[in-house]
Chain A
Amino acid sequence: MKCAVVVFPGSNCDHDAYYAVNHVLGAKAEFIWHKDTSLAGADFVILPGGFSHGDYLRTGAIARFSPVMPAVRAFADAGGPVLGICNGFQVLLESGLLPGAMLRNRDLKFHCEMVGLRVERTDTPFTSAARQGQHLRLPIAHGEGNYYAPPDVLASLEAQGRVVFRYANSVGELTDDANPNGSLNSIAGICNEARNVVGLMPHPERACESVLGSADGLVLFESVAQTLAAGARV
């Protein structure tokens, strides 16, 4: 099982993703430079966190036009599992692979902290090994993670069960205090209509070993490993 970790100029969680896949999950990860036009036969793709192109113009706005993105889009269109983490999520939003946009955090602060999440859906390749309603503790590190979508888009996301993660307190309640950035409906992660493309602001790859303060992120990688091993694309 091979994972392509796409590297944009300014990605800074690419090595964390590579480490989580290679050394914790025990699969094979490969870096793919943003100027490559092929994903080298990958079975799943990670768009990692960071500050691609310095976040100039808007987060993810320039990375969206990278030469590698048509290959990512084709892979996603064919049902291949794609995970966008933090800046990778922002790239997916800008490229239209996922709906909505990110605004500046409501308090204008860069948040670097552990947050609580509630798993809303287990019918994606990245959450299939999780439990519905499972509480995860994952780190966030972003200044623009305030998820916004127009009312009609938000309503269809909810109606189609495409909100995959929400910010929640330790007992699973969606309180305002548990929402670090002001995201609509406490949204921390969503998926596309076909459910194979998932984006989230928190960093599962930074929380795969207890020595890092949480191993809760591992379930996303175990999920995609199990999904691919089963030979079925969710």
Chain B
Amino acid sequence: MKARVFVTLKPSVFDPQGHTIAEALHSLGYGAVSDVRQGKYFELDLNVPNQAGAEKLAAEVADRVLANPVIESFRIELA
């Protein structure tokens, strides 16, 4: 079973990289892109028998390792 984990900075945390990308896009004429937030994407291969187990395992490693809860939040998709 596969899980996709998306880690992003919390909305309250300034994202210097996303800000710079947004400014670059504006200078390229993409003024309609009002903001950019950069994040991380992980694909996990999980040896677990069912969906509930996959969800639980992915959430545990995302919370403990993949994301820093002080500044980041995460979202999981199972595939």
Chain A residues at the B interface, C-beta cutoff of 8 Å: 57-58, 61, 65, 93-94, 99-101, 103-108, 146, 148-150, 182
B17 interface contact, C-beta 8 A: yes
A106 touches B16 (CB 8 A): yes
A94 touches B68 (CB 8 A): yes
Q: How far is the CB of A233 from chain B (nearest CB, A)?
A: 28
From A65, A101, A105, contact of B16 by CB (8 A): A105
The residue in chain A whose Cβ has the minimal distance to the Cβ of B42 is A57
Query: Chain A residues with Cβ under 8 A from B20's Cβ?
Result: 108
10 contacts between A and B (CB under 8 A): A61-B65, A103-B13, A103-B14, A103-B71, A106-B16, A107-B16, A108-B16, A146-B16, A150-B12, A150-B70
What 7 A-B pairs have minimum CB-CB distances, sorted nearest first? A101-B70, A101-B71, A104-B16, A106-B16, A101-B68, A108-B16, A108-B20
Cα–Cα distance between A106 and B66 once the two chains are bound (Å): 23
Query: Chain B residues with Cβ under 8 A from A104's Cβ?
Result: 16-17
Q: How far is the CB of B13 from chain A (nearest CB, A)?
A: 6
A-B contact count (CB 8 A): 37
The residue in chain A whose Cβ has the minimal distance to the Cβ of B71 is A101
Q: How far is the CB of B74 from chain A (nearest CB, A)?
A: 13
Query: Chain B residues with Cβ under 8 A from A105's Cβ?
Result: 16
Cα–Cα distance between A105 and B16 once the two chains are bound (Å): 7
From A57, A93, A148, contact of B65 by CB (8 A): A57
Q: How far is the CB of A204 from chain B (nearest CB, A)?
A: 25
Cα–Cα distance between A149 and B12 once the two chains are bound (Å): 11
Cα–Cα distance between A129 and B26 once the two chains are bound (Å): 51
Query: Chain A residues with Cβ under 8 A from B65's Cβ?
Result: 57, 61, 65
Query: Chain B residues with Cβ under 8 A from A57's Cβ?
Result: 65-66
Q: How far is the CB of B38 from chain A (nearest CB, A)?
A: 10
**Interface members, chain B 22-77 (any A CB < 8 Å):** 65-66, 68, 70-71
Query: Chain A residues with Cβ under 8 A from B15's Cβ?
Result: 103
Query: Chain B residues with Cβ under 8 A from A107's Cβ?
Result: 16
Cα–Cα distance between A94 and B9 once the two chains are bound (Å): 15
Q: How far is the CB of A92 from chain B (nearest CB, A)?
A: 13
Query: Chain A residues with Cβ under 8 A from B66's Cβ?
Result: 57
List 20 extra interface pairs beyond A57-B66, A61-B68, A148-B70, CB under 8 A: A58-B68, A61-B65, A93-B70, A94-B68, A99-B70, A101-B70, A103-B9, A103-B13, A103-B15, A105-B16, A106-B14, A108-B16, A108-B17, A108-B20, A146-B16, A148-B13, A149-B70, A150-B12, A150-B70, A182-B16
